[in-house]
Amino acid sequence: MTDPAAGAAGTGPGEADWAAAVAAVRDLPADAQVQLICHVNPDGDALGSMLGFGLGLRQLGVRQLRATFPGPPEVPEPFRALPGLDLLVPEEDAYPAPDLVVCFDAASESRLGGLVDRLATAGTALVLDHHASNTRFGGINLVDPRAAATSVVAEELLARLGVRLDAGIAEGLYVALTTDTGSFRFEATTPAVHELAARLLATGIRPGDISRRVFDTRPFGAVRLFGEVMCRARLEPTAAGGNGLVWTYATLDDLARHDQRPYVLEALIDSVRCTAEADVSCVVKQVRPDEWAVSMRSKGAVDVSRVAVALGGGGHTFAAGFTGRGSADDVVASIRAELDKALIEA
Ligand code: AMP
Ligand code: MN
Ligand code: MN
């Protein structure tokens, strides 16, 4: 679930980009249709940024406003109390040709699944993101690789639009910020991140309740499933140029046996990456018989986004993912083969 930003070099949006984005919203006709889209398998940053921004647009008087993401319209349980969920529609109910489409936390068009056509049918396509690998696929791109979360970019745009932060907006942006900074533990946790958190908390949102719901609550079946999956973790000390790899996998059968939904597995990587003896950690999650969603993390010796990109995915330097094929062993073998090429020069 956690998603540390790269801390990689790269510049954020220029004044012309901000001005274009502000104009794209301010100049909307009164009856405009606005479609918000976040990435497939949405995490806290994707949903929190999108819904927080959506509530900001609502404050500005945008009435025809919908939010969606590709794939089954199932919101993971940790996010089912987010303010603004009433904006969400299944992807088939997204506006076919909105005046404005805004994309959240998606590094590339492929993360928009079947909704990618809206980039062409929309009057204007605005991209809000913080992945260094972002392909600038919008007409207007607010992409800041130094931002800890997409919600940092979303909050700045809301401020430039004159939106007043309220508790509803703030909760989404706060969930996004805590998700992608690992609750203010990762390197991207700058003074500006804490200043943003302070502005969000000043609206009266309750960080204890929010964190318990988003990070510290799971069904008993998931607790037992995690136990099983953790028990089968493997440590390979010689992998990644001797920096070590720890990995485990979870199958559809594991989920069925414990009567759990796939999204419960998103938190697993946080337990696996604790392993002291490994720089790189990896969880391979079965999504179809021969298809696996892969989460990778690094503590600094390896650029896992390079591994992910080489294998068809993407992400940040220290948190990345891709879709793997074949058996779990095949997927791990493909990672092992890429790790040595992705070592970061000391
Ligand atoms: P996760 O391990 O799912 O928390 O994802 C970590 C990072 O990798 C996030 O920044 C994602 O955007 C990125 N990522 C994960 N899976 C993919 C994928 N299949 N394609 C592109 N990027 C991905
Ligand atoms: Mn994300
Ligand atoms: Mn993010």
Residue with more model confidence, 161 or 4: 161
Confidence of residue 345 (pLDDT cuts 50, 70, 90): confident
What is the C-alpha separation between 165 and 283, in angstroms, rounded?
A: 37
Q: Which of 1, 2, 3 to mutate to test the pocket of ligand 1 (most atoms within 8 A of CB)?
A: 3
pLDDT of residue 11: 85
Q: Domain 15-215: state its class.
A: alpha beta
Residues with CB under 6 A from ligand 1: 3, 43, 107, 269, 295, 313-316, 319-323
Chain centre to alpha carbon of residue 104? 9
Structure tokens at 333: 């073998």
Question: Mean pLDDT of all residues in the chain?
Answer: 96
In which residue are the tokens 């809000």 written?
Answer: 128
Pairing of strands 280-288, 291-298: antiparallel
Termini Cα distance of the chain: 28
What spacing in Å lies between the alpha carbon of 1 and ligand 2's midpoint? 8
Query: In angstroms, what CA-CA distances link 2 with 11, 162, 181, 199?
Result: 23, 30, 7, 22
What are the residue boundaries of the structural domains of the chain, listed by start? 15-215, 220-341
Fold of the CATH domain 220-341: Diaminopimelate Epimerase; Chain A, domain 1 (3.10.310)
pLDDT of residue 3: 37
What spacing in Å lies between the alpha carbon of 70 and ligand 2's midpoint? 13
The pLDDT tens digits for 200-221 are 999 999 999 999 999 999 999 9
Q: Which of 103, 150, 322 to mutate to test the pocket of ligand 1 (most atoms within 8 A of CB)?
A: 322
pLDDT of residue 2: 34
The pLDDT tens digits for 272-293 are 999 999 999 999 999 999 999 9
**Secondary structure class of 39 (helix, strand, coil):** coil
What spacing in Å lies between the alpha carbon of 43 and ligand 2's midpoint? 5
Reply yes or no on whether the pLDDT at 4 is more than 70: no
pTM of the model: 0.95
- Name the residue with the closest Cα to ligand 1, atom 19: 322
Query: In angstroms, what CA-CA distances link 144 with 3, 6, 172?
Result: 15, 11, 19
What spacing in Å lies between the alpha carbon of 177 and ligand 2's midpoint? 11
Q: What is the mean pLDDT of residues 241-257?
A: 98
What is the number of the ligand closest to the CA of 312? Answer: 1
- Name the residue with the closest Cα to ligand 1, atom 12: 315
- Name the residue with the closest Cα to ligand 1, atom 3: 295
Structure tokens at 115: 């909704």
Helices (H), the chain: 15-26, 44-59, 118-121, 150-160, 167-180, 191-201, 207-215, 220-231, 239-242, 252-257, 268-272, 304-310, 328-339
Q: What is the mean pLDDT of residues 6-27?
A: 84
What is the C-alpha separation between 136 and 142, in angstroms, rounded?
A: 9
